[in-house]
Structure 1
Amino acid sequence: MKVAVIGLGLIGGSLLRALAAHGHHVTGFDLAPQTRQAATALARAADVPQFADPSIRPIGIKGAWHVAGTVPAAVEDADVVVLAVPLPALPGVRAELAGFPGLITDVTSVKGPVRDLMAGDRFVGGHPMAGKESSGFLDSDPHLFDDCAWVLCLEPGTTDLADWHTLARLYTSIGARVVPATADDHDRAVARISHVPHLLAAALSNLLDGNPLAGALAAGSFRDGSRVAATRAELIAAMCGGNAPAVRDVLDDVLAELTGYGTVLRSDNPVAGLTPLLRRPGELRRAWPAAAVVPAEVDLDLDALLALGRAGGWVTRAEDRLFGLRPETDRNGS
């Protein structure tokens, strides 16, 4: 398949490399000349057996991807265009795609605003649940999407199922697990498991300010809880601000829960008070991710696919029928 990737940061760069590694014809573009130069240099070096970075060796033959100098040049003859730029940059890139007849998708972490922006285009929203606290093409990794959950949006009455199927085939071909969801379902879910956790990590990291002793003592719990605060502030702000309504709702719930803990800590017996409150969160965390899954097989049908996604299931192979897995606890799954 001929794919154009617009934006070669961590996600776009990793996708460029992963698609090339799996035999797709890929062209990339990035606004920054230094990024285009780095991507071009890496393409030329990809066939050197003893290249310094061992992760590059399996990329494939020399010239497995190309880097264009403009958006129009990158998308020429492409079957699929992947927009891998930040949410605020999407309107400008969309304007450069005027007249492009092929399928367009994206990788942004908020789906409702992108769905609205791309109304009228041949578009299917997407979001790979993969990343690092670092960013940029030099941090890209062709294995970033191995077994990652990749949301592909299905909007009743607007999504073309054939286009959705095309992308499901493409992303499962690089090892991702495709999760069907509406944009609104996606945005509510990622507010819980991505956007609010970024804000909590930022608040936790602020506890280091002016306290070098705390920094010296911080270990695993602090490291794991604060890791994503190292993400660029502009990226965190874009995803949380772009999903503000859902993030506000979830943040209010979390603040109410933390306030409840604070109330118990002011009681006469905080240990006895906290213990029952902490049992359910412990059970939920120990049960994640679902250890027991069962095979799922569904038709290319909007309702069936959305039911699979809402049950916590995903697609691993997209043929005439779609094959995947769902949690065993979902007794009503298809």
Structure 2
Amino acid sequence: MDIAVIGLGLIGGSLLRALAAHGHRVTGYDAAAETREAARALAKQAGAPRSGDAWRVADSVAEAVAGTEVAVLAVPLPAIPGVLAGLAGYPGLITDVTSVKGPVRDLLDGSRFVGGHPMAGKESSGFPAADPRLFDGCAWVLCLEPDDPDPADWLTLARLFTRLGARVVPVTAAEHDRAMAEISHVPHLLAAALSALLAGNPLAGTLAAGSFRDGTRVAATRPELIAAMCGGNAPAVRRVLAGVVEDLESFGRELEHDDPIAALTAGLRAPSELRRGWPPRPGAPVEVPAEVEALLALGRAGGWVSAINDGTVAGLRPETDRNCS
């Protein structure tokens, strides 16, 4: 398959390398000239004997997508409008890797577009950190909507990404954005709030250990990236943040009880059991029809797609009755 990857940071660079390693004809592009040169240099080092280069690097978006069947937008949400001019008239299938799906769907309205988001990454960033095995076993969201008439494009991408080793999760854009606010965007804001406790507090900085480290790790992410993903998902982030604030205030009220230890113990029991039950174990394999509603039902149950077969989809549903005791 002929595929273009626009943006060669950690995710885009890893995808470029993974696709090439699986035999696809891949062209990459990045707005930074130094990144393009680094990708070209590595391609020559990793060149396949029968083709000379492992991938090609273009000097513009339009050059990168020319003649390709699929274009992957691996740039931050604020950069997508600037990429669209190079996609004018592009007849192929477009997907992306951003952490917010509703706003990207609105920007790509009228195109052959399937929103995507691989839940993969590491603390290092940029093309030098790219890893062709980054997506092994990762959850890769691919969006569907109940009124989609035909899941053919979705199935094309699901087949492509499951063959890279990913677990493809079918959800709507709104369901994705709500879940991301819960498990990524608000946790970044909470980590930032906890990190702010270090200001003017050298004693706390000396005593801080494991719980502080684990609870604040993502606060070290570049502020521009945190702002882009939270700001791009502002409605869902506000709703989830309000719920978390309410929970924290509830703990505060429990601390006012005559017996705060007993009150807190009761309030902490359910969250403790939920965390000890995560992540869920995979359940028995399932096979579902290649239809929109059946795929969405699988994703809503926490399941994922492991392979695309003729007329059916192979997947797994997680166990829901893990004993946490």
Match of 2:22 in 1: 22
Q: Report which stretch shifted further, 156-165 or 270-279.
A: 156-165
Match of 2:217 in 1: 227
| SS of the residue 2:3 aligns to | strand
Q: Provide runs of 4+ in structure 1 moved above 4 Å.
A: none
Match of 1:54 in 2: none
Are the aligned partners of 2:282 and 2:316 in contact in 1 as well (CA < 8 Å)? Answer: no
Kindly report which structure 2 residues correspond to 1:149-228, keeping only aligned pairs within 5 A, or say none: 149-158=139-148, 160-228=150-218
Distance 1:287 1:65 in 2: 42
Q: CA deviation at 1:241?
A: 0.6
TM-aligned CA distance change 1:100 to 1:47, over 3 Å: closer
Distance 1:33 1:113 in 2: 28
Deviations 1:183-239 (A, max 9, x none): 011111111011101111111111222223322222222222111111111111111
Are the aligned partners of 2:119 and 2:138 in contact in 1 as well (CA < 8 Å)? Answer: yes
Match of 1:31 in 2: 31
Amino acid at match of 2:30: D
Gaps of 5+ in 1: 49-59
Deviations 1:101-149 (A, max 9, x none): 1000001111111111111101111011112243211222212111110
Match of 1:283 in 2: 273
Match of 2:45 in 1: 45
Kindly report which structure 2 residues correspond to 1:1-150, keeping only aligned pairs within 5 A, or say none: 1-46=1-46, 63-150=53-140
Match of 1:324 in 2: 315
Q: CA deviation at 1:46?
A: 2.3
Are the aligned partners of 1:8 and 1:136 in contact in 2 as well (CA < 8 Å)? Answer: yes
Deviations 1:241-268 (A, max 9, x none): 1111110000000001111112222333
- Counting matched residue pairs gives 319
Gaps of 5+ in 2: none
Distance 2:188 2:276 in 1: 21
Kindly report which structure 2 residues correspond to 1:270-309, keeping only aligned pairs within 5 A, or say none: 270-309=260-299
Q: Normalization by structure 2: what TM-score?
A: 0.94
Root-mean-square deviation (Å): 1.7
Q: Normalization by structure 1: what TM-score?
A: 0.91
Amino acid at match of 2:9: G
Distance 1:182 1:63 in 2: 38
